[in-house]
A and B are shown apart, each in its own frame.
Chain A
Amino acid sequence: MEAVIDKLALYMQYPFVRYALIVGVLIALCSSLLGVTLVLKRFSFIGDGLSHVAFGALAVATVLQAANKMTVVLPLTLLTAVLLLRTGKDTKIKGDAAVAMISVTSLAFGYLLMNVFSSSPNVSGDVCSTLFGSTSILTLTKHEVWFSVFLSVAVLLLFGFFYQKIFAITFDEDFARAVGINVSRYNLMLAVIIAVIIVLAMNLVGSLLISAFVIFPALSAMRIFRTFFAVTICSATLSVVCALAGILASILAGTPVGATVVAMDAAAFLLCCLAGRLRGA
């Protein structure tokens, strides 16, 4: 045990480890808050879809050799999020089908672009690290950390301030609209927030595993708690704990960061299922 603590203390001296922890925890917090709403609105897959779009956009940015890839990735992902969340009603292609379609298309195009216009000798390595996050969270610069902190704080403030509105439109969109809440505006806000989180989270877990960040904490919390407030708080707490534990474990054991955190999330879900069963019985 002492050896473990020593090893951790040693690692903590490195700024990149501290950065990874800060950013990881913030992203986990933000995505879990939004996850509750998305899961309840039957948009569990939007994280998956958007992250694949972000992957495609990243490929485009690489091919264009954009100086700052974010300038390509963020707007494209935002646009898709807005389009996807407004397809809820009155569209020919229904929500889940639209998400699936856009998701696979951008994945395919992204890979295709990266292959055809490959700029580095190790294409499959590049693709793998974008998909699974690999070590990019350990190479964050100070700028990127501040950027993440700023965006996360903005997301937290927005969520806190509009918590009641978000509850109202998640529970009953028609009623909310009937009593005069500008539902489209809040849906747009949610779409923008989720897109920002996805782009941030790509660094951490890569595009394949982001969905886990969004849905696992919410689903786990729903096994145990029965009020919206409790579910939200529990989801956020669980997500932060799992992210912390996952990142530390991955540093100690030398495993991939994203996959380790997701494994923690999955384990927490199983525990919550058990706890829910015991409580229900």
Chain B
Amino acid sequence: MPQIVCENLSLGYEGETIVRDLSVSVETGMYLCIVGENGAGKSTLMKAILGLRAPLSGRVAFGDGLKKREIGYLSQQTDVQKDFPASVREIVLSGFQGRMGFWPFYKREEQERAERNMERMGVADLADRCYRDLSGGQQQRVLLARALCATEKLLLLDEPVSGLDPVVTADMYRIIGELHRSGVTIVMITHDVAEALPCATHILHLGRRVFFGTRDEYLREMQDAQGEKEDRSAWKP
């Protein structure tokens, strides 16, 4: 059963279409990597799924018991966050805000779940530390814990490893892989295809050529494309 269905989606800014007529469905249990050049519309697609940006045409639908507000989101860091005075616990707890309605306090159950999510992401011992004093990798794990408070069903990750060093990057992929194995559907935008491919089950490539399919199909397609190129270069006199 698909959790998210994008039907004939066209995205872009005023007068400029970046993504044309895209149809993709995200099934429960997928680990989908969205790849493509800068400006191919990866983040725009994610924002359309989240309802932060209206599509030019087409629609996004949710299924398999997933409600629109049950998506955890890890955005790219903003300037505001870099020097924000807030403790890790405050930030992780804020993941519950969407489902609390007008009630102004966190329930005991929510506090316990926040603790569990912090433990899961390995930031429990940082709970009272200030967010801006953490390293880049720690900050990302805090934001992941917050996203888990919002949902356990599906996470949208926008470049979760950008700006992290190789060791921390590998660690981050390991954590995301663990989340996927525990049953969370993952949709991740990434630059670095080589690192991300081993974990992914499906690939969406945006750009001049649009590809959507399983990882193995993608690898075959890449090889074919590579082969074609070599054939052509072999023909050159």
Interface residues of B in 39-61 (CB under 8 A from A): 47, 50-52
Residues 57-92 of B, flagged 1 when their CB comes within 8 A of A and 0 if not, give 000000000001101110100111100111100110
Q: Are A181 and B97 in contact (CB under 8 A)?
A: yes
Selected contact of B104 from candidates A164, A179, A181, A227, CB within 8 Å: A164
Complex formed: what's the CA distance from A87 to B216 in Å?
A: 46
Q: How far is the CA of A160 from the CA of B102 in the complex (A)?
A: 12
**A163: Cβ under 8 A from any B Cβ:** yes
* Majority secondary structure, A binding face: helix
User: Which residue of the partner chain B has the closest CB to A222?
Assistant: B85
A41-B80, A171-B94, A227-B87 known; A180+B99 contact, CB < 8 A:
yes
- With most chain B CB atoms within 10 A of its CB, the pick from A174, A179, A228, A231 is A179
B104:A160 contact, CB within 8 angstroms = yes
Report yes or no: B97 in contact with A227, Cβ–Cβ below 8 A. Answer: no
- Bound together, the chains give a CA A41 to CA B83 distance in angstroms of 11
- B95, A229: Cβ atoms closer than 8 Å: no
Report if B98 contacts A (CB, 8 A).
yes
For window 163-191 of chain B, which residues contact chain A by CB distance below 8 Å?
none
Chain B interface residue count: which class?
Answer: 35 or more
Q: Which residues of chain A have C-beta atoms less than 8 A from B95's C-beta? A: 179
A 160-179 binary contact with B (CB < 8 Å = 1; else 0): 11111101101110111111
| Complex alpha-carbon distance, A179 and B148, angstroms | 11
Closest CB of chain B to A206's CB: distance in Å? 30
- Which chain B residue lies CB-closest to A177? B52
CB-defined contacts of B199 to chain A, threshold 8 Å: none
Note all chain B residues with C-beta closer than 8 A to A168.
94, 97
Please tell me if the beta carbons of B80 and A164 are within 8 angstroms of each other in the complex.
no
**How far does the alpha carbon of A96 sit from the alpha carbon of B85 in the complex, in Å?**
22
- Nearest-Cβ distance from residue B143 to partner chain A, whole angstroms: 8
Q: Name the prevailing secondary structure of the B interface residues.
A: mixed
CB distance from B200 to the nearest CB of A (A): 22
Residues of chain B contacted by A93 (CB below 8 angstroms): none
- Out of B69, B75, B79, B86, name the residue touching A227 (CB < 8 Å): B86
Q: Which residues of A contact B51 (CB under 8 A)?
A: 177-178
The answer on a CB contact under 8 Å between B130 and A226 is yes
> Bound complex: CA of A180 vs CA of B102, how far in Å?
12
Residue B11 is within 8 A (CB to CB) of chain A in the complex:
no
Q: A181-B98, A226-B130 are in contact. Are A167 and B69 (CB under 8 A)?
A: no
Q: How far is the CA of A172 from the CA of B91 in the complex (A)?
A: 10
Give CA–CA (A188, B133) in the complex, Å: 32
Q: Let me know if A167 and B98 touch, CB within 8 A.
A: no
Question: Are B87 and A179 neighbours in the complex by a CB distance under 8 Å?
Answer: no
B146 within 8 A of A: yes
Q: How far is the CB of A35 from chain B (nearest CB, A)?
A: 13
Contact between A177 and B87, CB atoms less than 8 A apart? no
Tell yes or no: B157 within 8 A of A by CB: no
Partner of A171, one of B68, B79, B80, B130: B80
Min CB distance, A215 to chain B, in Å?
14
In contact, A163 and B104 (Cβ under 8 angstroms)? yes
Which 8 A-B pairs give the minimum distances between C-beta atoms?
A179-B98, A226-B130, A180-B69, A180-B98, A227-B87, A178-B73, A228-B86, A178-B50
The 17 listed contacts between A and B (C-beta, < 8 Å) are A40-B80, A40-B85, A162-B104, A164-B97, A164-B105, A168-B97, A175-B146, A175-B150, A176-B98, A177-B50, A179-B72, A179-B95, A180-B68, A226-B85, A226-B130, A227-B85, A227-B87
Please give 9 more A-B residue pairs, beta carbons under 8 A apart, in addition to A175-B73, A179-B69, A229-B90.
Answer: A40-B84, A41-B80, A164-B94, A164-B104, A168-B94, A174-B50, A226-B132, A227-B87, A228-B84
Q: State the A residues within 8 Å of B (CB).
A: 40-42, 160-165, 167-168, 170-172, 174-181, 222, 225-229, 231
